[in-house]
Structure 1
Amino acid sequence: MSLDNTSAANRNTTSTWQRYAKFLLPSFIGVLLFLTPITHEGKQTIVIGLLADTIRLGLGAALPLIVTLTFVLSGIMSSYVSLLKPRWINSFPLLSHVFTTTPLWLLLRGLGGLFCAMTYFQYGPEWIIGSDTGQVAYMEIAGVIFCIIAIANLLLSFLTDYGFLEFVGTIISRPFQLLFRLPGRAGLDAITSWVGDSSIGTILTIRQYESGHYSAREAATVATNFSAVSLPFCVVIAQMAKIDDVFVLFYCTVGLCGIAAALITPRLPPLSNLPQRFYQREQRAEEQVEPYPNIFVRATQTALARAQHGPSLKQILNQAGRSITDIFIAVLPAAMTIELIVLVIYHHSSLLQTLSAPMVYVLQMLQLPEAETAAAGTLIGFFDQFIPAIISTNVDSPITRFVLAGLSVTQLIYMAENGLLILRSSIPIGFKQLAMIFLIRTAIVLPILAAAAHMIYG
């Protein structure tokens, strides 16, 4: 062999190792951070949860002040930009995107800044600043979310942008076809939601439908059953409900509930009644599939291709910064204000208790303690995913807190988030149908969660 041929072979070998390293090393870090269970001080958790706890404890009393300043900034700047529309804001696309909003969301942000400041300074009526309303929403829950969202967004790229998502999504594509009677690409939607965000998974599903890869029934099935709550959010919910000491068992139970609901719900109306027609076309869009010898090789090559276009450190920081800014400024003040409103209604009126009265008997049949306190949390989650976990903070029994936390992450139809995205999309499904799917999923997962809670805490 000539010297030139030897050099070329060495370069090819080095290039191959570099390609694999760019896929394997970041993915290994991502798995270690997000998917590896650990035990710390007697509690089961994952590394990302431990890091978030460390940050929260390190900030201490400064964290409520940071939350307050952020929410007040959101209210003031959103009002200024949305109402006065200054020209200079157009030179800053991110700020324009974050602070420009609709009248309803502007109202929620403004109230969020006002109520959060009142709660921090303990100035105002007790029903706003009280320990079971404003203190819970703005000082406790918002602080936990701040920390987990910040650290998760900074590190999530290791799991999503270097091929791991594509590798696992390809591997599970065939089981999705066999178990759920869905196109294999639905597995990628599920994985995207699982490690990223349920709204991202919903948006991906809508795009797949409009591109002709899903029928109407398939798109609705994926959006309502596989737009799973993200792993970092599950950590937040477990911490809110004070069951993070059994987080691994909690997450395994959530996974089992998700599989059971996804197997049963699509086979029942209203999903089973939706048409198998495609969006603005007669048949499914053709897919180009490379002729790989087996699924593992295909998954590996797909992952390697994705890893080659993985972001640089600067790109990771820019992307994380944009995402964190958007969530902290645009989403959290409004979301926490919705939480406050629900908590005020829950604690200072009997409306939710009256509407959920039939669920008291269901919870009692499942032998769940404090059924009357918890009943509202079984149904009110239709409007927002935080609410069942928030209600769990008023429950002493870990069994019932476990169940409410599980409902927060398995009911999936949250009108404040993915429910609204589905209604505004081209997928032919309406509000009443989403409500029916929510109730069906609740009926499926509630007994599973109750049984698991009794086994864990019994």
Structure 2
Amino acid sequence: MNTDFTTKKKNGTAVEINSSTVMKFLIPSLFGIIMFLFPVPYGGAISTPVGVVSEWLAGALKAYLPYAVVAITSISATMSVVGTLLKPDFVMNNRLLKANFTPSNFYLFWRIIGAIIAILVLNKAGSEMIYSIDTGGTMMSLMATLIVWFFAASYLMPFLMNYGAMDYTGTILRGFVKPLFKLPGRSAVDLVTSWVGNVNVGVVLTRTQYNTGYYTGREAAVIATCFSAVSLPFCLVIAAMLGLDAMFVPFYLTVMVAGIISAIIMCRIPPLSTLPDVYHPAVGKQIDEMEPEGMSKSQWALQKAVQKAHLTGGMQEQFQSGTDIFLGIIFSLVPIVMAWGTLALMVATYTPIFTWISYPFAYYLHFMGVPEAFEAAPATVVGFADMFIPAILASGLTSIKTKFIIGVLSLVQIVYMTEVGTLLITSDIPVNFKHLVLVFIEKTIIALPIIVIMANILL
């Protein structure tokens, strides 16, 4: 490839754009794109290569994964007590140990609770409210699966992030994504990653991009709460649970339309619009998608991609990057998600709280002419605890239209405490529990009329 332009390394030496440097960007980036974004048929549904690998590992290790959850939560709790309270040199002088085992007192408490809950669930000890299949049993199964997903994604994610794929895509798509969603172009990769793959992988990708200076706090919050979508395979599962698999095309079309329109609106209103629009203070701004004057967008995109790939180290460095991501996830998130997710499901299963707070939405559904409005109302808010529960509640309804509306809504709401909510709160992204509650309510209010209109048109 003959070109007459170069890009600069941080140390000032020129990086010539030729066949060799382009291939260093292209080959690993294509591998990452294929692994995360290429749709493949698997198990009667559409998945991605990273999904196939994860599902295969989950099946092969199924009998051992609950013990892995207990081991991880126990190690996290024990080492965090040692690191936080005793501060021994072997922890404080080791980068990985210090990063993973010196949490605040607040998170130390919840790591301990998460370990206790995991042990109780594994042994079916204590109250059935904790280890029931509707509460802790669900979370144990979920965490066992997520550990495998995060393992595969953590070691493959560097190929998507570190070799220029996001830099190239971001520059090319900036003119489309920026005016619609007020986001950098590279966020489009997040959208596709979670849309065809796994929403949690999309959120982890967003967290990592914020931590490395490629998103501001506001941008990361918008992407994680609005721009990430629920994966196609999960949409198929929800449609099947509600008996709507025969009308999956209009069902999924409605998910896409409601998700995109609500994201366009929500990125422009509080609380998301008022979050700090600044980069992570530890690294500062690292993104530059605007092409210089006199240079085409495609030339600048290629320059940014080649520069990123040239600055990227060898496979040992990428393995270390994957290890950092994976350990940061399992030791900080697994015990917290286990604790908060189980408690959220206990509230949803054994208390009438979600029924009480759903009354305003019952009148909202009734105003829009939705059949069985009052019976369906709890399903509009219980998705804040977990996205499976709305479909479970809606499965008992008789109206196909109402099942359709509730099923789509549960997939558009996205924010749920058993996974995404906890991933966000425990990250450095500047969102808290109150923000997530407001985002969930706003998205429900905004998306419901869109979904009802689509249901009236398509059914």
Instruction: State the TM bucket, normalised to the shorter chain.
Output: 0.7 to 0.9
The one-letter amino acid paired with 2:413 is L
Q: How far is the alpha carbon of 1:64 from its aligned partner?
A: 1.1
- Which residue, 375, 378, 381 being the options, matches 1:376? 381
What is the one-letter code of the residue matched to 2:100?
V
Q: Kindly report which structure 2 residues correspond to 1:289-328, keeping only aligned pairs within 5 A, or say none.
A: 289-328=291-330
Which string of whole-angstrom CA distances, capped at 9 and with x for unpartnered residues, describes residues 317-358 of structure 1?
Answer: 111112111111111111221011111111111112211233
2:187 paired with 1:186: no
Q: Contact 1:153–1:323 at 8 Å: present in 2 too?
A: yes
Answer whether contact 2:226 2:259 (CA < 8 A) is retained: no
Counterpart amino acid of 1:122?
Answer: K
For 1:162, the equivalent position in structure 2 comes to 163
Could you tell me which residue of structure 2 aligns to residue 51 of structure 1? 53
Kept after mapping to 1: 8 A contact 2:163/2:309: yes
CA shift digits 1:221-269 (9 cap, x unpaired): x354334578798479669858699999988765544431233235556
Matched, 1:86 2:88: yes
Structure 1 residues 240 and 318, CA gap change in structure 2 (3 angstroms): farther
* Residue-by-residue CA offset, 1:120-170 (whole Å, 9 max, x unaligned): 1111111111111110012x1101111111111111122111111011100
2:40 pairs with 1:38: yes
Distance in 2 of aligned mates of 1:177 and 1:302: 18
Equivalent in 404, 409, 426 of residue 403 of structure 1: 409
User: Which residue identity lines up with residue 96 of structure 2 in the other structure?
Assistant: L
1:260 aligns with 2:257: no
1:388 counterpart letter in structure 2: M
Task: Name the structure 1 match of 2:222.
Answer: 225
Could you say if the C-alpha distance between residues 264 and 416 of structure 1 is closer, same or farther in structure 2, counting changes exceeding 3 Å? Answer: same
Does the Cα contact within 8 Å between 2:84 and 2:102 map onto a contact in 1?
A: yes
1:417 is displaced (CA, Å) by 4.8
SS of the residue corresponding to residue 226 of structure 1 reads helix
CA distance in 1, matches of 2:275, 2:158: 36
Does structure 1 retain, via aligned residues, the 8 Å contact 2:354–2:378? no
1:152 aligns with 2:153: yes
TM superposition shift of 1:401: 4.5
Amino acid aligned to 1:141: L
Rounded Cα–Cα distance in structure 2 between residues aligned with 1:252 and 1:312: 42
CA distance in 2, matches of 1:452, 1:142: 35
What is the DSSP-based 3-state SS (H/G/I as helix, E as strand, rest coil) of the residue aligned with 2:18?
helix
The 2-side partners of 1:268 and 1:129 are apart by 40
Amino acid at match of 2:411: A
Cα distance between partner residues in 1 of 2:187 and 2:98 = 29
What is the aligned partner in structure 2 of residue 284 from structure 1? none
Give the Cα–Cα distance (whole angstroms) in 1 for the partners of residues 114 and 411 of structure 2: 24
Distance of 2:278 and 2:33 partners within structure 1: 38
Find the residue that maps to 1:162 and give its secondary structure. coil
Deviations 1:160-205 (A, max 9, x none): 111110111001112234445x4xx722356468656547647866
Structure 1 residue 388 displacement after superposition: 2.7
State the secondary structure of the residue aligned to 2:134: coil
Inter-CA distance 19–424: structure 2 relative to 1 (3 Å threshold): closer
Deviation (angstroms), 1:37: 1.4
Residue 119 (structure 1) aligns with: 121
The CA RMSD over aligned residues, in Å, is 4.5
Which residue in the other structure is 1:73 paired with? 75
Letter in 1 for 2:223: F
Distance 1:117 1:178, change over 3 A: closer
Instruction: For residue 101 of structure 1, report the CA deviation from its aligned partner.
Output: 1.2
On the 8 A contact 2:111/2:335 being kept in 1, the answer is: yes
Between stretches 297-306 and 123-132, larger displacement belongs to 297-306
Q: Deviations over 1:380-417 (max 9, x none)?
A: 36xxxxx2345546664784455323322699x97645
Residue 43 of structure 1 and its aligned partner are, at CA, apart by 0.9
1:2-49 residue CA offsets vs partner (Å, 9 max, x unmatched): xxxxxxxxxxxx982111211221122122111111222321222211
Structure 1 CA distance for aligned equivalents of residues 18 and 357 of structure 2:
62
* CA separation of 1:96 and 1:203: change in aligned 2, threshold 3 A: closer
Once residues 240 and 102 of structure 1 are traced to their aligned partners in structure 2, the CA distance between those partners, rounded to angstroms, is 38
Q: Alignment partner of 1:60: what SS?
A: coil
* TM-score (norm: length of structure 2): 0.74
Cα distance in 1 between the residues matched to 2:146 and 2:390: 16
CA distance in 2, matches of 1:328, 1:275: 28
Q: Which residue of 91, 97, 100 maps to 2:99?
A: 97
Q: Return 23-32 or 171-180, whichever deviates more.
A: 171-180
Contact 1:258 1:410 in 2 (8 A): no
User: Could you tell me which amino acid in structure 2 is paired with residue 334 of structure 1?
Assistant: I
The answer to whether the 8 Å contact 1:48/1:152 transfers is: yes
Q: Which residue of 2 aligns with 1:64?
A: 66
SS in 1 for 2:163: coil
1:189–1:204 contact (8 Å) kept in structure 2: no
Letter in 2 for 1:375: T
Question: Matched residue of 1:156: which SS?
Answer: helix
Kindly tell me: are residues 453 and 61 of structure 1, through their superposed partners in 2, closer, same or farther at Cα, counting changes over 3 Å? farther
SS of corresponding position for 1:44: strand
Distance 2:319 2:276 in 1: 43
Identity %: 23
The one-letter amino acid of 1:113's match is A
Identify the range of structure 1 (246-255 vs 165-174) with the bigger mean alpha-carbon deviation: 246-255
Q: Which secondary structure state, in structure 2, belongs to the residue aligned with residue 95 of structure 1?
A: helix
Work out whether 1:128 is the aligned partner of 2:130. yes
How many Å separate the matches in 2 of 1:193 and 1:234? 10
- Matched residue, 2:358: 356
CA deviation map 1:409-444 (0-9, x unaligned): 699x9764546878858xxxx987775554333323
Counterpart Cα distance in 1 of 2:370 and 2:269 = 24
Q: Which segment is superposed worse, 155-164 or 366-375? A: 366-375
Give the 3 Å change call, closer, same or farther, for CA 388–203 of structure 1 in structure 2.
Answer: same
